[in-house]
Amino acid sequence: QEPCYILAVETSCDETAVAVVKDGREVLSNLISSQIETHKAFGGVVPEVASRKHVESITYMLEEAVEKSGITHDQLSAVAVTQGPGLVGALLVGIVAAKTLAMAWDKPLIGTHHIAGHIYANRLVQEIEYPSLALVVSGGHTELVLLEAEGQFKVIGATRDDAVGEAYDKVARALGFPYPGGPHVDKMALESEEAVQLPRVWLEPDSYDFSLSGLKSAVLNVVNQTSMRGENLNKGAVARGFQESVIEVLVEKAVRAMREFGCRQLLLCGGVAANRGLRAALKERCERENLPLLIPPHHYCTDNAAMIGAAAYLKWKQSEFTDLDMKAEPGLSL
């Protein structure tokens, strides 16, 4: 069979990313331009600024990604792009670029779901076995997704308020760390001997949903009360208490779902998969219970375009192409 080469574009948030992926698993080129330094000054991602930055860099990156891949554009099988969810103005930049190339080069267009990308990032590392369970934890998402077969997604649980990464960033901010604060909280938590006792939010006994806003408020209360009493805040103890609470609930619900649905693998996906505490806890628990765990390397966990190429490959195999009048879908569901 002819090899499949997909040019993939991802601009749903604050990374401009372009990649060329062969057969949904071999990454020929993978470029990422992060806007973090720009958004840091604002303490978070400013949508309008994100769109403008994507416009500045996308064309050069497209050119470079094809050049670095070692193939020519006429060898491409399709052009894939994140259709949603994400910031609408940011998505549109990637979508317009991808449509234009698809039209100019006469290639099929493949609109791709951002979370399908995060999940199929695992396929860049290892073959996925079904049924599988994906724990998606990022700045915008917290979901447990059951994959009964290839490309068949069933969201069995999701956050009812804040995403895990979002909660990390808010807690980090309260502790005085710059955006994105997740990695700082992770580091402080691991270095601290002490932990503040914070609640675990389980919701209904049979629910796979999550809720993080109560925990976040509990952290903010500790921070405010300490400051009102004029005492010194033990930041490490707060970070560790928060991290322990988040991890315990994530691990417990993931393992319970693995059992209930007889899943053969647990796939950890999204930017928060970089969290060392979460990785260690999942590894330990999965080893103890003999459950196979897949965690992609860090650069495939955070937003990137290689993962979009991996997910788009599934659609390419089914000749599931997208019309050139495709719209950005900021709230696209899986």
Would you list which residues are annotated within the binding site for substrate? 136-140, 169, 182, 186, 275
Query: How far is residue 79's CA from residue 322's CA, in Å, rounded to a whole number?
Result: 10
Shortest approach of Zn ion to residue 185 CB, angstroms? 19
The window from 47-55, 99-107, 175-183, 281-289 that contacts ligand KG4 (CB under 6 A) reads 175-183
How many whole angstroms separate alpha carbon 101 and alpha carbon 189? 46
CB of 322 to Zn ion, least distance (A): 20
Instruction: Pick between residue 98 and residue 301 the one whose CB is nearest to ligand KG4.
Output: 301
Sole binder of ligand KG4 in the list 143, 162, 186, 244 (CB under 6 A): 186
Nearer Cβ to ligand KG4 (5/300): 300
Q: Which is nearer to ligand KG4, 108 or 241 (CB)?
A: 241
Nearer to ligand KG4, 7 or 269 (CB): 269
What string of DSSP letters covers 53-107?
HHHHHHHHHHHHHHHHHTS-GGG--EEEEEEESS-HHHHHHHHHHHHHHHHHHT-
Neighbours of 252 (CB within 10 A): 14
Kindly state the helix (H) or strand (E) to which residue 219 belongs, with its residue range: helix 213-228
Contact between 296 and ligand KG4 by CB under 6 A: the answer reads no
Residue ranges binding Zn ion (CB under 5 A): 138, 303
Q: Of ligand KG4, Zn ion, none, which one sits near residue 162, judging by CB under 5 to 8 A according to partner kind?
A: none
Closest to ligand KG4 by CB, 14 or 209:
14
Return the closest-CA partner of residue 130 out of 150, 109, 100, 110.
150
* DSSP H or E stretch at residue 34: strand 26-34
**Contact track, ligand KG4, 5-34, x by CB under 6 A:** --------x---------------------
Per CB under 6 A, which region of 62-70, 153-161, 267-275, 287-295 contacts ligand KG4? 267-275
Q: Which residues fall in the annotated binding site for Fe cation?
A: 114, 118, 303
Binding residue numbers: 114, 118, 136-140, 169, 182, 186, 275, 303
Report d(CA 59, CA 171) in Å as an integer: 36
Q: What is the pairing mode between strands 152-158 and 142-149?
A: antiparallel
Helix (H) or strand (E) holding 249: helix 235-260
Edge-to-edge strand list for the sheet holding 142-149: 152-158, 142-149, 132-137, 265-269, 293-294
Distance of CA 242 to the CA centre of its chain: 21
Which positions lie near ligand KG4, rule CB under 6 A?
13, 138-140, 165, 168-169, 180-183, 186, 270-272, 274-275, 302-303
